[in-house]
Chains A and B, each alone.
Chain A
Amino acid sequence: MPSQEHLSKQFDIDLDTVRTRVLEMGGLVESQVVAAIEGFATGNRELIERVSTSDYRVNSYEVSIDNDCSHIIVRRQPAGSDLRMVLAISKIVTDLERIGDEAEKIARMSKQIHERGTLQIQRFAEIRHMGGTAVKMLRAALDAFARQDTAQAANVVLEDVTIDNEFRSIIRQLITFMMEDPRTISTALEITWIAKAIERVGDHAKNIAENVIYIVKGTDVRHTTLEDVEREAKKT
């Protein structure tokens, strides 16, 4: 990555501003996922409501950052690492917005489960653990973006396997519950949706990490093997 500043100071300012706003948006989305999972585990109505009512802020960040990217492309015709940065940011904000949607989905399901009252299935610990893994991945992907750290980005991609395994394990447990007692089916289905939403958060975090590798190394590692991702991340 070039360390030197641009001849145009305004170009530096424009790029720094858009990068900072991506991190702000990432911070907001991360707090929404944390609140949604906590809301599911504790039934805290206030947390659940907060996730639902603040989704519009995530959406407006997405529109505004995309607009900033268009502005940079029109005015600066970026090339090389600048072009990759702008292209990747445009994709990263889409992933962040979808993570926000998943958080909202978790909040909505949690509200339904808790409004129904007594729970026939207690799966809080597993969901909380899986949620913790997803939040850790998201935080690491955003850190990797902030520091342009490809090694950390590669770790996020590898971590996706863990969250997929946790998801499959929860689904197996829920199937057992549903087979044993059909009265648990509606709640089990809602918990399935929550687990799926968390699994999707992991997928989006992985996408963000892959974009960090693209920005820094210029190689598109989507749809390649984990070995390829690790090799690219380490390449000097």
Chain B
Amino acid sequence: MSAQIESIKPEATPPERAATPAAKAEVKGLNFFYGGYQALKRIDMVVHEKMVTALIGPSGCGKSTFLRCFNRMHDLYPGNRYEGRIVLYPDNTDLLSRGVDPIEVRMRISMVFQKPNPFPKSIFENVAYGLRVRGERKRRVVEEKVEQALRNAALWDEVKDRLHELAYNLSGGQQQRLCIARALATDPEILLFDEPTSALDPIATASIEELIHDLKEKVTILIVTHNMQQAARVSDFTAYMYLGELIEFGNTDALFIKPARKQTEDYITGRFG
């Protein structure tokens, strides 16, 4: 009844959402070129601190290209060119600036790939690798860091008695968690995941997703996924990309229930194409 509607309105108003989290990085006017081909077009986006941001979109939309800009992976190939800025907070470092050393960037921003890619070394040495590259020589410090990284990657209990076995002896899911431990060992500020579960079975996928959920207390996460349900499950914010453009970016719940753009709606409802 209308009288009731009026009377219950103040209580029925949903509580204010928590304030928008702080920005960990901000992408400003990013263009990216593979030689003459422009793969990313004028991207502006904020990456929120200690939150999971998912990048979704059809194949070839530029989501992996975008992810790889964050740790300057494209520098490894000639002819690639960035325009614009990716500012890392709190020190306002422009990750794309020529004056910034890509090795330093990769220490601060680690990456986990589609297929587990452990080095042909022991479990221990895989995790210790980044520390050694950084110049850490103290055995005790390395051991502590390796244990901490393996614990954070929820792998310690499974491997603590066979740290010096070859990493290839681990199962696919364990190898992927090892790669996450390796990425965590250098205490990165941002962790990039490029379809981290596409080569894993559902059980291993669930454990990685659980891990992502736990890790966001410590680190900011950006994840590329083809699996929209995975994006909906693990992320706080979602960005939908198409043909190198950022079509829509927002709160994951809102984007999957009430997307603002028709292109996003068509993609997430399976009408795209």
A151, CB-defined interface residue at 8 Å: no
CA distance A173 to B252 in the complex (A): 54
A83 touches B5 (CB 8 A): no
A160 touches B1 (CB 8 A): yes
When each residue 12-27 of chain A gets 1 if its CB lies under 8 Å from chain B and 0 otherwise, what string results?
Answer: 0000000000000000
A79 touches B9 (CB 8 A): no
**Which of B258, B259, B268, B273 has most chain A Cβ within 10 Å?**
B258
B203, CB-defined interface residue at 8 Å: no
A82, CB-defined interface residue at 8 Å: yes
Chain B 239-273 residues near chain A, CB threshold 8 A: 256-259, 262, 264-266, 268-273
Chain A 1-58 residues near chain B, CB threshold 8 A: 2, 4-8, 11
Chain A residue contacts of B6, Cβ below 8 A: 225
Chain B residue contacts of A226, Cβ below 8 A: 2, 5
B269 touches A79 (CB 8 A): yes
Chain A 214-236 residues near chain B, CB threshold 8 A: 218-219, 223-226
Chain A residue contacts of B269, Cβ below 8 A: 2, 6, 78-82
Chain B residue contacts of A224, Cβ below 8 A: 5, 9, 12
When each residue 184-226 of chain A gets 1 if its CB lies under 8 Å from chain B and 0 otherwise, what string results?
Answer: 0000000000000000000100000000000000110001111
When each residue 140-172 of chain A gets 1 if its CB lies under 8 Å from chain B and 0 otherwise, what string results?
Answer: 000000000000000000001100100000000
B268 touches A80 (CB 8 A): yes
From A4, A5, A80, A203, contact of B257 by CB (8 A): A80
When each residue 140-154 of chain B gets 1 if its CB lies under 8 Å from chain A and 0 otherwise, what string results?
Answer: 000000000000000
User: Distance in Å from the Cβ of A203 to the closest Cβ of chain B?
Assistant: 8
CA distance A79 to B269 in the complex (A): 5
A77, CB-defined interface residue at 8 Å: yes
> A2-B262, A83-B256 are contacts. A223–B272 as well, Cβ < 8 Å?
no
CA distance A82 to B256 in the complex (A): 10
When each residue 62-80 of chain A gets 1 if its CB lies under 8 Å from chain B and 0 otherwise, what string results?
Answer: 0000000000000011111
> A79-B257, A223-B9 are contacts. A161–B2 as well, Cβ < 8 Å?
yes
CA distance A219 to B228 in the complex (A): 22
B266 nearest in chain A by CB position: A2
CA distance A7 to B58 in the complex (A): 14
B229, CB-defined interface residue at 8 Å: yes
Chain A residue contacts of B1, Cβ below 8 A: 160, 164, 203
> A83-B257, A223-B9 are contacts. A2–B265 as well, Cβ < 8 Å?
yes
CA distance A223 to B11 in the complex (A): 10
B18, CB-defined interface residue at 8 Å: no
A164 nearest in chain B by CB position: B1
CA distance A160 to B9 in the complex (A): 17
> A77-B229, A79-B256, A218-B258 are contacts. A8–B270 as well, Cβ < 8 Å?
yes
CA distance A78 to B3 in the complex (A): 36
A223 touches B266 (CB 8 A): no
Chain B residue contacts of A225, Cβ below 8 A: 5-6, 9
B12 touches A80 (CB 8 A): no
A223 touches B5 (CB 8 A): yes
28 contacts across the A-B interface (CB closer than 8 A): A2-B266, A2-B271, A6-B270, A7-B272, A11-B270, A76-B270, A77-B229, A79-B269, A80-B259, A80-B264, A80-B265, A80-B268, A80-B269, A82-B270, A83-B256, A83-B257, A160-B2, A161-B2, A164-B1, A164-B3, A203-B1, A218-B258, A223-B5, A223-B8, A224-B9, A225-B5, A225-B9, A226-B2
Identify the 8 closest CB pairs spanning chains A and B, nearest first. A218-B258, A223-B12, A79-B268, A4-B271, A80-B269, A80-B265, A79-B256, A6-B270
Residues of B within 8 A of A (CB): 1-3, 5-6, 8-9, 12, 228-229, 232, 256-259, 262, 264-266, 268-273
